[in-house]
């Protein structure tokens, strides 16, 4: 997996790339990376940092100076699981998670490919209405447990799948237009 710091040695600022990410973020009401004080609270609470060294505070710093080409080509950005913890922890009310989503969008618009995990989530969302179908999960004793085992009802699906899909596709179209 490529880390952001591995890709920085010959980096050159790209104002066009920064403007594209900025344009996407403005659509979701996102804010000014100039407000980031590099306190690191986002990274210290980030689950993806613990697992794969995703560093949202560094991404915010690179966004500030326009070095987003390097970030977009780092496979580690796809490890962000959109848990929103960084946004909740930020003392400046910034949203690194939205910034990362913006970078992913621009990366795709420029011919990059969606990670396998995200493709699987999208397919599941379109088929079932949620990003991951209910799983049979392992237990500490070496066994496994399912919703049925726990006496839970089947996970609910959209009442009108066609309408759900239309809303989903329209929303994605609006975000990307």
How many residues are present in the chain? Answer: 177
Cβ-based nearer residue to ligand SF4, 20 or 56: 56
By CB under 6 A, tell whether 84 contacts ligand SF4: yes
26, 28, 81, 31: which is closest to 51 by C-alpha?
81
- Residue pair 9/39 in contact (Cβ under 8 Å)? The answer is no
What is residue 177's three-state secondary structure?
coil
Is the separation of the CB atoms in 57 and 43 below 8 Å? yes
Least distance in Å: CB of 63 to ligand SF4? Answer: 10
Contact between 24 and ligand SF4 (CB under 6 A)?
A: no
Per-residue contact flags (x/-) with ligand SF4 for residues 97 to 136, judged by CB under 6 A: x--x------------------------------------
Q: Determine contact, residues 18/66, Cβ cutoff 8 Å.
A: yes
Q: Which residues of the shown chain bind ligand SF4 in the complex (CB under 6 A)?
A: 36-42, 46-48, 54, 56-57, 60, 80-86, 89-92, 94, 96-97, 100
């Amino acid at each position: 997996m490529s880390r952001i710091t591995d890709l920085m040695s010959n980096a050159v600022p790209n104002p066009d790339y920064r403007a594209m990410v900025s344009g996407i973020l403005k659509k979701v009401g996102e804010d000014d990376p100039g407000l980031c004080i590099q306190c690191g609270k986002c990274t210290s609470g980030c689950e993806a940092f613990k697992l794969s060294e995703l560093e949202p505070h560094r991404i915010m710093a690179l966004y500030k100076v326009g070095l987003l080409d390097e970030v977009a080509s780092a496979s580690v950005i796809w490890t962000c699981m959109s848990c929103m913890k960084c946004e909740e922890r930020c003392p400046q009310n910034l949203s690194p998670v939205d910034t990362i989503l913006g970078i992913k969008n621009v990366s795709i618009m420029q011919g990059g490919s969606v990670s396998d995990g995200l493709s699987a989530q999208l397919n599941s969302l379109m088929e079932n209405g949620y990003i991951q179908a209910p799983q049979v999960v392992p237990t500490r004793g070496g066994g496994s447990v399912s919703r049925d085992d726990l006496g839970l009802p089947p996970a609910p699906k959209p009442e009108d799948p066609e309408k759900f899909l239309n809303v989903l596709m329209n929303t994605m179209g609006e975000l990307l237009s």
